[in-house]
Amino acid sequence: MSDAYLITGSNELKGTVRVAGSKNAALYAVVASLLTSDEVILHNVPDIADIEELSDILRSLGTLVRRENKSLILQSKTIISTKPPGELVQKLRASFLVVGALLGRVGSAECAAPGGDVIGSRPLDIHLTGFRALGAEIEHDETNWIVSSSSPLSGASIFFDYPSVLATVNVLLAAVLANGVTIIVNAAAEPEVEMVANMLNQMGANISGQGTAHIKISGVHKLHGCDFTIIPDRLEAGTLLLSAIATRGEVLISNAVPEHLSSLTSKLLEMGAEVQMDVQSDDGDTGIHVSGATKLQSVALQAVPYPGFATDLHPPMASALTQVTGVSFIHERVYDNRTLYVSELRKMGAQITLGSSSSVLIEGPSQLRGTRVKALDIRAGAAVVVAALAAEGVTTLEDIFHLDRGYENLAGTLSSIGGKIERV
């Protein structure tokens, strides 16, 4: 049997905890290293399964990858393959980013459809539209997308039907070394996208507008190595803030960036929680301090692209809302299958019902009870952890390999602020 967490609930979380480097931003940065033959040094890289899997994908393409504590050192002197192994590609969605990077670096790539959480239909049309606009030809055999260009890629004006995060990064990676100027209109504005554009600029790219819906990429001939630090993980920080709220605890999340979390903190304030930004911690960093010891009220929210409420925080937010007074409403507008966690929370006694078009209604407060449940995807797993911390008795959480994909040593992190959680 695979590992499980045993979580004993009803302990208020208290203390200071430091947030790790961002999973998604680190994944994009690792792939960006493919664009230069020089060494790329990344700091603050979380020690999680997705980074391991992606490192193996890069190794199959010819990259030397080694970890030194929190740093990852990558060098892609020569690209020895443009076809990552399908069984690795299917382990995570970010694997498809190698297509943009290989197209930019050597003009072709052959890649299976990526895997990742089963949280919705997750098509690739926007990625492919972007590659085509830059002059690539696209074919599909039984298993692979074959993307290639016989002449150098040329900059283009591209309108995205939807501000897809990975499609924005994929087109960025393909366009930085293209001839001329590329404009992406309706680009994703997520901090992780902004960060990878900043990293590419440090490598010699000429990108502006990152962090907005309108990104301009002026192609350059060559990129060089860099020494770059990954931003803190706003989704881990959000999960910890919500764990504090659900247990009526009081926690300082050090190193969290307030601006990246304003959609969550504004909802926490609306619920009646005490939230303070830029609080100094003992280690000299600043962070977000939250207290859920006050009377908390229900709220309504929608999960939408950044800077709106993050879809990845919808499931743990739902768990926290089981502990507040009144009927809360969450409308999921990013994915059509984000609500897998609902069945698991119901087993624990949550009053939560599925409405139409991916919406959920949560009636609180409910006394949750520990039982045997599963992590059904990364964030559905996070939802159950938050619920279990608030519940009476012991929760056995199975299939925690999903959580290992995205949270660095979650049991250690929560234990350091008083959570009773043990890996078995």
Residues forming contacts to ligand EPU in the complex (CB under 6 A) are 23-24, 27, 93-94, 117, 120-127, 162, 164-167, 190, 311-312, 334-335, 378-379, 406
Residue among 110, 90, 88 nearest 99 (CA): 110
Question: At its nearest, how many Å lie between ligand EPU and the CB of residue 305?
Answer: 7
**Rounded CA separation 150/135 (Å):** 9
Compare residues 24 and 36 and give the one whose CB is closer to ligand EPU. Answer: 24
**Rounded CA separation 171/214 (Å):** 13
Question: What six digits make up the tokens of 86?
Answer: 């399908």
- Only one residue has tokens 């925690």, namely 400
Compare residues 262 and 367 and give the one whose CB is closer to ligand EPU. Answer: 262
Compare residues 335 and 341 and give the one whose CB is closer to ligand EPU. Answer: 335
- Only one residue has tokens 């890289």, namely 45
Compare residues 48 and 391 and give the one whose CB is closer to ligand EPU. Answer: 48
Among positive and negative, which fits the CA dihedral 38, 39, 42, 48?
positive
Compare residues 139 and 274 and give the one whose CB is closer to ligand EPU. Answer: 139
End-to-end CA distance of the chain: 10
**Rounded CA separation 210/374 (Å):** 38
Q: What is the bridge-based pairing of β-strands 351-354 and 326-332?
A: unpaired
Which residues pair with residue 14 across a beta bridge?
Answer: 250
Q: What phi and psi, each to the nearest 5 degrees, are found at residue 341?
A: -65, -20
Question: At its nearest, how many Å lie between ligand EPU and the CB of residue 188?
Answer: 6
Question: At its nearest, how many Å lie between ligand EPU and the CB of residue 143?
Answer: 18
Question: At its nearest, how many Å lie between ligand EPU and the CB of residue 114?
Answer: 8
Question: At its nearest, how many Å lie between ligand EPU and the CB of residue 338?
Answer: 9
**Rounded CA separation 89/101 (Å):** 15
Compare residues 298 and 413 and give the one whose CB is closer to ligand EPU. Answer: 413
Question: At its nearest, how many Å lie between ligand EPU and the CB of residue 336?
Answer: 7
